[in-house]
Structure 1
Amino acid sequence: MLRKIFIIVGILLTTKNLWATQPKTLRLGVAGLTHGHVGWILSRKDSGDVKMVGIVETNKVLAQRLSSQYGFSMNIVYDTMEEMIAATQPEAVAAFGSIYEHLMVVEACAPAGIHVMVEKPLAVNLAHAKKMKALAQKHNIHLLTNYETSWYPTNFKAHQLLHDGAIGELRKVIIRDGHSGFKNVKINDEFFQWLTDPVLNGGGAIMDFGCYGANLMTWLLKGEKPNSITAVTQQLQPEVNPKVDDDATILLNYDKAMAILQPSWNWPIGRKDMELYGTTGVIYADNRNQLRVRKAEGYDGFSEETFQLQERPAPFNDPFAVLAALIHGSLELEKFDPYSIENNMITMEILDSAVKSAKSKQTVQLKE
């Protein structure tokens, strides 16, 4: 009898410990459905860590179309943030509307203590970004910015190799991002309408893809700001993008290095890649999984090592898992991590200055 009691107590203690170690499910709201990346959450497999509890979208035709495609109930679709928050009590909200709407999402969520993750970039301009940061700090919420490149194992391998001294001191970085244009990649009309609006997107390709390079440089240089920023924009497809630039070159001048960012909606092949040139070698992050390191030998010789990298381990292979882990205390971001507010405020300074430089045709000084 005593043995049976010990067994039962042991089972109960084991069950209790299992319950204690089970990750809590994050109650997630979604603000907007017009962003083409919203499919990342709508199609996400149920892993028990995140539950989508409500959606805010006034365009019911769009909502119904996505409901039919992804299988969520129209009963969880609300007209306003206030209605959704009151009805569903989310712990966090992921913003999938226009970039201009990011500030309004934070204004609705922060006072209620609701954490926010927005799609890149953080805001349409630096003024919006400062208001968002102030609200996040005042109400002690996480405010993350999600970039696809934050999931890339090649970028993290490049970061590690650089700081391990694999190519010596960094001197030049070239980062190229973009695609062949919306006529060719065939995005939905709701996404296209605000992506090509200078108010709702803050600009064209200079914002849409320039943010990747600014974010990565801020991370690679551990929060160092460029001394100056010079940007040139073009409009190579005016019939498709009549209101905004669709091609840009941004030069970032640092104390000991220079970065050349090349965001464009005119690449013949879609790309997100970067090249890091040091004093003794080069790192080529060719795409998400392929990376090469060249070590200099003599005048123009080199040895080359190629890496085929596996996806990043959980939770870093999924932005919603990162958000849940941060909120529930099992993860802490390093300073100037690509998701972090510290990084993205500098990223916004760079983008804001780049837009001003392109418009004025003058170099903008960030550090005197």
Structure 2
Amino acid sequence: MTTQPLRIGILGLIHDHVWDHLPQLQHSQNAELVAAFDTNQPLRERVESEYGCPTYASVKELFASHELDGVYIFSSNQEGADLALQALNHGLPVMIEKPMAASLAQAEQMLETARAQELCLMVNWPFAWWPQMQHAVNAALAGELGTLWQVKYRAAHAGPKELGCSDYFCEWLFDPDRNGGGAMMDYCCYGCVLASCLMGAPASILASGGAYRAEPLGVEDNAIIVMNYPDGMATAEGSWSQVGKLTAYATAIYGSQGTYIVEPQKKGRLMLATADQSEGVEVKVQCPVLSLQTATEHFAHCVRTGETPWALCAPETSLEAQRILEAGMQQLHRR
């Protein structure tokens, strides 16, 4: 197994999350940025200036110019899936930003191709690297809360532009074809993947949402998906119009023997309530091993060892979330 840093190419710069991952590559001993592709010259110039790497306006030109060990994809949901297929068919492992694709058909084709090529396909979920989220998910899967009967997640902010998202990002977020929807696709996806990871495929779903902002964005700006299970339920909420941060990015996991509340971001707490400690106590969470600290370190580990990505980032989990999202969007369109 090679100890040389993985040579990573970036495909797409129009998803703003890319600017969180480039510093990871810059500081990692296990992966390095080799080249980047995007059709927008200002974004190429920014990467060249800040990271000193060559950039290309053509994926084929990048592939022809560099030997790579893997690619990161930060494009629109629709175009990102196409880029993933190009990379997989070129023999390259892929890390793609959540949710996975703009449609279920695209997601299914990605997983089918990765399996056929025997390549790593990892879907990055930003909350997957919160230590308290990792602890809660692993403990819940191990049965420490008893039988799970409900999972809740709410992702919310005042809106992409209000949050400071770039024009490149907003342009495709507000395009139902390139995004696959609006707030439902962008933000309900988190609750869907969490429920898929912890409770599996739902028996049925119920979705609702609409455009409730004073100035509509052309897509739904608020949505909720209720997932029904034989012995429980889960909810995924997404909002692009919430004032303030109260309840935003809050996670609740309910079991027959206890309840977890997962506070957001890497410094958030993990709280546990039981019959004996009904008010809840903080669970002390250990710092994860290096391979679980960032998406870059985890992808490098999986590519090198052949291990599958951990539960939240496994493509099978994201495929199930994509199936739920597509059913939700179909219900929304019928309203």
Q: TM-score, normalised by structure 1?
A: 0.84
1:35 to 2, 9, 15: 15
Cross-structure match for 1:245: 220
Task: State whether structure 2 residue 256 is matched by structure 1 residue 279.
Answer: yes
Change (3 A) 1:312 1:265: farther
Task: State whether structure 2 residue 298 is matched by structure 1 residue 322.
Answer: yes
Residues 206, 247 of structure 1: 8 Å contact kept: yes
Q: Which is greater in Rg?
A: 1
Cross-structure match for 1:13: none
1:338 match: secondary structure: helix
1:48 to 24, 29, 45: 29
Structure 1 distance, partners of 2:332, 2:136, is 30
Change (3 A) 1:305 1:133: same
Cross-structure match for 1:97: 75
Cross-structure match for 2:84: 106
Deviation at 1:167, TM superposition (A): 3.4
Structure 2 distance, partners of 1:56, 1:134, is 25
- For residues 227-238 of structure 1, what are the structure 2 equivalents within 5 Å? 227-237=203-213
Task: State whether structure 2 residue 199 is matched by structure 1 residue 199.
Answer: no
Cα deviation code 1:278-331 (max 9, x no counterpart): 23432111223311111135xxx8242113535432111111111111111174
Structure 2 distance, partners of 1:309, 1:192, is 36
Cross-structure match for 1:143: 121
Deviation at 1:164, TM superposition (A): 4.7
Cross-structure match for 1:257: 232
Structure 1 distance, partners of 2:32, 2:138, is 34
Task: State whether structure 2 residue 190 is matched by structure 1 residue 212.
Answer: yes
Residues 229, 357 of structure 1: 8 Å contact kept: no
- For residues 304-343 of structure 1, what are the structure 2 equivalents within 5 Å? 304-307=280-283, 309=285, 311-329=287-305, 331-333=307-309, 337-343=311-317
Deviation at 1:189, TM superposition (A): 0.7
Task: State whether structure 2 residue 152 is matched by structure 1 residue 156.
Answer: no
1:60 to 28, 36, 41: 41
Cross-structure match for 2:332: 358
Residues 207, 332 of structure 2: 8 Å contact kept: yes
Deviation at 1:332, TM superposition (A): 4.0
Residues 152, 312 of structure 1: 8 Å contact kept: no
Cross-structure match for 2:95: 117
Deviation at 1:166, TM superposition (A): 4.0
Structure 1 distance, partners of 2:89, 2:160, is 37
Cα deviation code 1:238-278 (max 9, x no counterpart): 52x42111111110001111011111112323532211122
Q: TM-score, normalised by structure 2?
A: 0.92
Cα deviation code 1:79-103 (max 9, x no counterpart): 1111101101212111111111122
Structure 2 distance, partners of 1:112, 1:166, is 43
Change (3 A) 1:31 1:100: same
Partner AA of 2:261 in structure 1? Y
Partner AA of 2:165 in structure 1? I
Partner AA of 2:222 in structure 1? D
Cα deviation code 1:140-183 (max 9, x no counterpart): 21111100111011222222332454433222222111222123
Deviates more, 1:245-254 or 1:155-164: 155-164
Structure 2 distance, partners of 1:202, 1:238, is 23
Partner AA of 1:179 in structure 2? H
Structure 2 distance, partners of 1:117, 1:312, is 20
For structure 1, the 5+ residue unaligned runs are: 1-19, 362-368
Deviation at 1:119, TM superposition (A): 0.3
Structure 2 distance, partners of 1:330, 1:108, is 21
Residues 84, 110 of structure 2: 8 Å contact kept: yes
Change (3 A) 1:341 1:160: closer
Structure 1 distance, partners of 2:184, 2:107, is 17
Deviates more, 1:275-284 or 1:191-200: 275-284
For structure 2, the 5+ residue unaligned runs are: none
Structure 2 distance, partners of 1:46, 1:302, is 43
1:296 to 271, 275, 285: 275
Partner AA of 1:59 in structure 2? N
- Residue-pair matches, total: 330
How high is the sequence identity, in percent, across the aligned residues? 28
Deviation at 1:200, TM superposition (A): 0.7
1:324 match: secondary structure: helix
CA RMSD of aligned residues (A): 2.0
Partner AA of 1:197 in structure 2? D
Cα deviation code 1:211-252 (max 9, x no counterpart): 11111111112xx2100011101212252x421111111100
1:259 match: secondary structure: strand
Change (3 A) 1:308 1:264: farther
Residues 73, 84 of structure 2: 8 Å contact kept: no
